Amino acid sequence: MFGEHELKTKFIKIGDKRIHLLEEGDDTVRYRRDDVEVLIKKGDGKLGVFPAPAVGYGVRFLMVKFKAPVVVPPRDSIRGFVEAPVEVEVKLGRVRVDRFPAGREKYALYGTLEAGFIARYHPSPFYTEEPPSHGVAGLIIVNPSEEWKRLERVVFPIASSTMYYSPEKGYYPLLIVTMKSHIPEVNNTGRPPKEGLNATGEARSLPNVPMRW
């Protein structure tokens, strides 16, 4: 699924989408996906199929609502995963061939009508073991306070985020949620959520996001 593919006749299945590469003669390949079609002249490069942040219609944040809230004791933490939507970017070198969502797109208002913003939305259980979905985010919830804390969702920046991948799955960088006060703060660290993954670009942390609502 994710990674580099030879420019030869084959199917590449990603979620509910399918890419079809069809060789035409000795030096051209036709790329097809739904109603998208691109003619490619063969060269030395390979077709790159990579996960990308699920920015959809231009949103900058992803909101994952837990199907069951997570409660963390004082001066403790919990590590796990959530399912997270990803998009798929198809490239030859630095040239984009195609980009599309892997699955249904959902959006929601985060915050108030006056001060909130539209975010990509996805409901997910909080998993203590990695789930089998094709898009995930690794998450550490830290409670350095003297009180028990409850968390029902995580909202984090995704625009310009580095992504990571294995052949089977796309990963957002490791997220750290710190619940020191009544306003949790989320850090997209830019670091891989586990070892052994490939990066789509240079790893870099994004600014912390206070979850006011």
Which tens digits make up the pLDDT trace of 8-19?
Answer: 999 999 988 999
Q: What global pTM score does this model have?
A: 0.93
Of 92, 97, 94, 77, the residue nearest 139 (C-alpha)? 77
Hey, is 151 helix, strand or coil? strand
Tokens of 163: 């992504």
- pLDDT averaged over the chain? 95
Question: How is the chain split into domains, by residue range?
Answer: 47-210
Give the pLDDT mean for 154-178: 97
- Alpha carbons 108 and 182: distance in angstroms, whole number: 23
- Alpha carbons 179 and 185: distance in angstroms, whole number: 7
Of 179, 181, 85, the residue nearest 133 (C-alpha)? 85
Output the pLDDT for position 31. Answer: 98
Report the largest interatomic distance among the alpha carbons of the chain, rounded to a whole angstrom.
69
For residue 54, what are the CA distances in angstroms to 10, 67, 139, 190?
A: 26, 20, 17, 16
Give the pLDDT mean for 169-174: 98
Each residue's pLDDT tens digit, 72-87: 999 999 999 999 999 9
Each residue's pLDDT tens digit, 27-86: 999 999 999 999 999 988 999 999 999 999 999 999 999 999 999 999 999 999 999 999
